[in-house]
Structure 1
Amino acid sequence: MLSVVVPMYDEAEVLPLFVERLRPVLDGLEDGYELLAVDDGSKDATPVLLQAARRTWPQLRVLRLRANAGHQAAISAGLAAARGDWVVTLDADLQDPPEVIPEMLAAARAEGVDVVYGVRTDRSTDTVFKRRSAHLFYATMRVMGATGAPDNAGDYRLMSRATVDAVNALPEDHRVLRLVVPALGFPAATVGYAREERAAGTSKYPLAKMIRLSLDSITGFSSAPLRLATWFGLGGFLLAVGLLLYALVAKLVGHTVAGWTSTVVIVAAVGAVQLLCLGILGEYVGRVYSTLQRRPTYYVAHDSLTGASDTGSVAVSASASRTPTAAAGGGRGHTPDP
């Protein structure tokens, strides 16, 4: 009935605590479940601890990737392999409490929705910078019309089988699932919770990865930056015409003044706008180039359920995503945490 997809990368310190908190929650459900731990190429003792936990937890299934593919890619690998009628995505750091899962299931069934978002109603454990940057991220995406997701809704969500199949069928690279899922427009509800501090270990998402995620989010879901470049170009053209008229009038009335300051400022301003526009265009061209290469986002080394290994494909059909063969491949993405 339920699959819980958990991406993991070097989470040996927090893994025992995570198992200790999650298992009673899942065992207390009336429905059957599987815990699908996606080992994203961990270099510490995470694989060993997962195999040890499997000896006493038969519902634990381990999907190991050959190399680190990123948070979003690991989640996508788990979605492609998950077999449940409902699928929850959850990080292993315990900042998002697993005790909310029964509430999500209850909300989905009571309201008849396909998606239930976990919304952080209390982020006091996060730093001021993280809270402000998260607010700026969601505000920017709303202005660009790129998301219908609730504020402070990260990658902690419950999805129906229809939603998961729809996500698996998408062909795009560099998925940002917190934007992909709302973009489907399926009926949704929210469940609030207080965000906790990381139980152990350190964050695997530094500022550079957060910036990369933000760029993927903007260029993957909105053409507004391209329109911005167009408006910059139009504004620069109008400014140039105005300066030309001013120069001609000054020449005719004999008030021309030789000076280099205004020339330097104008040249520098125009150059800056040109470089900005080229950078925006470069981001979009880079996405097109990456898509045309059709390189797999991740490689599956082993699936403890089937014993199979395969290459993660660029697109997974909705009908194939529930089969054992498809469970070994297909998918996308690893995320920061605005």
Structure 2
Amino acid sequence: MRKELPLLSIVVPCCNEEAVLDETTKELTEIMSNLVTEERIRPDSVILFVDDGSKDRTWAIIEQKTKINPFVQGLKLSRNFGHQGALVAGIETAGKFSDCVISIDADLQDDVHAIYEFIDKYHEGCDIVYGVRDKRETDTFFKRNTALAFYGLMNKMGVKLVPNHADYRLMSKRAILEFEKYKEENIFLRGIIPLLGFKTARVYYNRKERFAGESKYPLKKMIAFAIDGVTSFSIVPIKMVTWLGFFLVMIGAGIAVYSIAVWLLDHTISGWTSLILSIWIVGGMQLIAIGVIGEYIGKIFKETKRRPRYSVEISTMDELKIKETVGHE
């Protein structure tokens, strides 16, 4: 059990979210005010909006709110680093002065009222609290079932994820310090956080409709995200390519035996159909194999460069809280 009141930071990554910022700020401010009144967090707790290279008025709105809302602070990245990069920037920045950090998307699909239970679990001694979707009725049939298929696939490949958990979670300072030891550029938070260990808990909530604006994760990005997750944590795809190669060799050996037998029996066959099919099938398999191996080589190439995962252009944070330049490996 923790007795001291924690300084809580809520990290909210934003990319072209001007349509939802007013309502998001309103709801999170209400949550923070209630927690302070109930003496469950410190009064100097923070809502940290991270602008991930927005092209609309997102940053202008954040700056305005920092002047009128005592909870709100802002972090503007120098360009778009992607959702995971923005989350890492916010978590590492807030982790410098916070006792615990909660990350949540700006679209209000994740129930903000679950934060009360997050804080309860933190006071009980949990270092990581996962927000887990109890129901996905607001998702389309396709999205709901592809998500379940993804979690099942990752589990079979040896990657231990929390099913129906996105990036709505609480992390204690101890967990954040441990997380900062993971320096890879190809970051996949849903896979890394369970590796940290420590005492964890789950809070279940119902996912809601997006308050306004458009989803930042269309099908193309969802597929890319899934590929990143698989290739960042598992070499099973390369093993599958190896076994596929053995399988094709066995088929080739069978075709060779069959061809010799036909030749010895002096049967006349044209062979064009089987030849063309073999070329296309084997050629396609080879391209897939090269693509899978290339994906891993590409990740190795990026990692060897050791480039920063994000860069900060502007920060409204108090200099007493952040004493060093943000934007490290």
Stretch moving more, 206-215 or 255-264 = 255-264
Q: Is residue 126 from structure 1 mapped to residue 139 from structure 2 by the alignment?
A: yes
Q: What amino acid sits opposite 1:144 in the alignment? A: M
Moved more, 222-231 or 149-158: 149-158
Aligned twin of 2:293 = 281
TM-score by length of 2: 0.91
Cα displacement string for residues 291-315 of structure 1 (whole angstroms, at most 9, x for unaligned residues): 122222322001111469xxxxxxx
Q: Which shows bigger deviation, 122-131 or 289-298?
A: 289-298
Kindly indicate whether the alpha-carbon contact (under 8 Å) linking 1:80 and 1:168 is maintained by their aligned counterparts in 2: yes
Aligned residue among 38, 52, 63 for 2:64: 52
SS in 2 for 1:98: coil
Structure-1 separation of matches of 2:140 and 2:31: 29
Which residue does 2:328 correspond to in 1?
A: 330
Secondary structure at the aligned position of 1:190 is classed as: strand
Contact 1:76 1:330 in 2 (8 A): no
Residue 28 of structure 2: aligned partner: 22
Q: Look up the match of 2:17.
A: 11
SS at match of 1:28: helix
Q: Which of the residues 75, 93, 98 maps onto 1:84? A: 98
SS in 2 for 1:230: helix
Code of the aligned partner of 1:20: K
Q: How far 1:74 moved relative to its partner? A: 0.3
Displacement after TM superposition at 1:156 (Å): 0.3
Work out which of the residue numbers 292, 305, 310 in structure 1 matches 2:304.
292
Assess if the C-alpha contact under 8 Å between 1:76 and 1:168 holds in 2.
Answer: no
Which residue is equivalent to 1:185?
A: 197
The alpha-carbon deviation at position 108 of structure 1 amounts to: 3.2
Q: Give me the whole-angstrom Cα distance separating, in 1, the residues matched to 2:216 and 2:151.
A: 21
Does the 8 Å CA contact 1:117/1:158 hold for their aligned counterparts?
yes
Listed one character per residue, the Cα deviations across residues 80-139 of structure 1 (whole Å, up to 9, x for unaligned) are 1012111110011000021111101212333x3321111111111111121111111111
**Could you report, residue by residue, the CA deviation over 1:280-299 in whole angstroms, capped at 9, with x for unpaired residues?**
00100110111122222322
What is the TM-score normalised by the length of structure 1? 0.89
CA contact (8 A) 1:87 1:159 kept: yes
Deviation at 1:323, TM superposition (A): 5.7
- Which of 156, 159, 173 does residue 146 from structure 1 map onto? 159
1:314-337, CA deviations, whole angstroms, 9 ceiling, x for partnerless residues?
xxxxxxxx96215x2236xxxxxx
Query: Using the alignment, how far apart are the partners of 1:109 and 1:238 within structure 2?
Result: 60
More divergent stretch after superposition (46-55 vs 269-278): 46-55
| SS state at 2:110 partner | coil
Structure 2: gaps (5+ residues): 1-6
| Alignment partner of 2:118 out of 104, 127, 131 | 104
Contact 1:4 1:90 in 2 (8 A): yes
Match of 2:277 in 1: 265
Residue 89 of structure 2 aligns with an amino acid whose one-letter code is A
1:256, distance to aligned residue in structure 2 (A):
4.7
What does the per-residue CA deviation read over 1:150-209, in whole Å, with 9 as the maximum and x for residues that have no partner?
A: 211000011111211122221101211111111323332111001011111111222221
The match for 2:255 is: 243
SS at match of 2:214: coil
Q: Equivalent residue for 1:173?
A: 185
Q: Do 2:131 and 2:165's aligned partners in 1 also have CA atoms closer than 8 Å? A: yes
Q: Is residue 111–residue 207 contact of structure 2 (8 Å, CA) maintained in 1?
A: yes
Whether the 8 Å CA contact 2:104–2:168 is kept in 1: the answer is yes
In the alignment, which residue of structure 2 is the partner of 1:313? none
241, 244, 249: which one aligns with 1:232: 244
Q: 1:200 aligns with which of 209, 212, 216?
A: 212
CA distance in structure 2 between the partners assigned to 1:47 and 1:129 by the alignment: 34
Question: How far apart are residue 61 of structure 1 and its match?
Answer: 1.5
Q: CA deviation at 1:66?
A: 1.2
Q: Cα RMSD between the aligned structures?
A: 1.7
Is contact 2:185–2:307 with CA below 8 Å preserved after alignment?
no
> Which amino acid in structure 2 is aligned with residue 2 of structure 1?
L
Query: Which of the pair has the greater relative contact order for Cα pairs under 8 Å at 6+ separation?
Result: 1
Percent of aligned positions that are identical: 39
Ranges in structure 1 where 5+ consecutive residues have no aligned partner:
309-321, 332-338
For 1:67, give the aligned amino acid.
Answer: R
Alpha carbons of structure 1 residues 283 and 198: separation in structure 2 relative to 1, 3 Å: same
Equivalenced residues, count: 315
CA distance in 1, matches of 2:322, 2:264: 80
Indicate yes or no: 2:78 matched with 1:66: yes
Contact 1:10 1:44 (C-alpha < 8 Å) held by counterparts: yes
